[in-house]
Structure 1
């Protein structure tokens, strides 16, 4: 993806809590589209190789969660975390991490990730197809800024992290604010 490109139209299979379902597992399926998530909003989207993995759980997701007010101060309406994991996994990961502000998006089939050019093989780790680590500022469904970790390739031996960090995105937003004010 590049600055100025529109996000692909994809439908995501999500599970949402609905007390009307009843029972011990009151969740139902709800399809959400790219437009549902991104239309009419300025958001941060970050994607990572997998829920419950070390870098994602220790730094990236908690970093975006704890900096929510700083992002809002720069005009960000929502922060979304995406991974090539199903809705069950993403929801349980958010719950286990105590996430209240960042919303998770399950890209279980990897369709969105493939269409933005970030789907890679991680067979060397036993993961199969997963997302390369990236982040973006999305304004009304269009890429405003793109932050991709270097070295994208299948079965990469390392897990680069820095370009897509919350700190790097906040630095970009602060600089962009200065330019607008000048």
Structure 2
């Protein structure tokens, strides 16, 4: 993907808490579309190889969570974390990380990731098909800025991290705000 492109149109299978379901696991299925997440607002989407993995859990997700107020001040309404994991895994990971501001999007079948050109094999790690690490600023469903880690390939021997970091996106947004203020 690149700046100027529309995000892929897909339906995500999510699980949402609903107390009316009752019992020890009060969740129900809810389909969400790309438009539900991206239409009519300016958001950040970042995608990573997997929930509960070291870089994702130690740096990337907490970094976006901790800087949510700064992003909001710079015109970002929502921050979404996507992974080729199912809704059960994504919800449990968000809970384990204590996430309050970042919202998780499960791309369990990898459809969005594939259509974005970011689906890679991670068989060398026993992961199967997963997302390459990237981030995007999306305005009303259209990519405004794209941040992709170098070396996109199947079974890459490393997990590059830097281009899609919250610090890099903040720097980009702050530079844009400075230019707009001049």
What TM-score, normalized to structure 2? Answer: 0.99
- Residues 1:123 and 2:123 aligned together: yes
Q: Deviations over 1:113-143 (max 9, x none)?
A: 0000000000000000000000000000000
* Residue of structure 2 equivalent to 1:65: 65
What is the aligned residue count?
182
CA RMSD of superposed structures (Å): 0.4
Q: Where does residue 21 of structure 2 map in the other structure? A: 21
Q: Distance in 2 between matches of 1:179 and 1:5?
A: 23
Partner SS for 1:174: helix
CA–CA distance in structure 1, aligned partners of residues 180 and 118 of structure 2: 31
Q: Distance in 2 between matches of 1:21 and 1:67?
A: 34
State the partner residue of 2:93. 93
| TM-superposition CA deviations, 1:132-180 (whole Å, max 9, x none) | 0000000000000000000000000000000000000000000111111
Alignment of 1:33-182 (within 5 A): 33-182=33-182
State the SS of the aligned residue for 1:32.
Answer: strand
Q: Which whole-Å CA distance do the structure 1 matches of 2:87 and 2:8 have between them?
A: 20
TM-score, with normalisation over the residues of structure 1?
0.99
List aligned pairs for 1:6-17, cutoff 5 A.
6-17=6-17
Unmatched tracts of structure 1, length 5 or more: none
CA distance in 1, matches of 2:145, 2:176: 10
In structure 2, distance between residues paired with 1:174 and 1:117: 28
Measured in 2, the distance between the counterparts of 1:180 and 1:113 equals 32
CA shift, 1:16, in A, is 0.1
Structure 1 residue 8 displacement after superposition: 1.1
Question: Tell me, which stretches of 5 or more residues in structure 2 are unaligned?
Answer: none
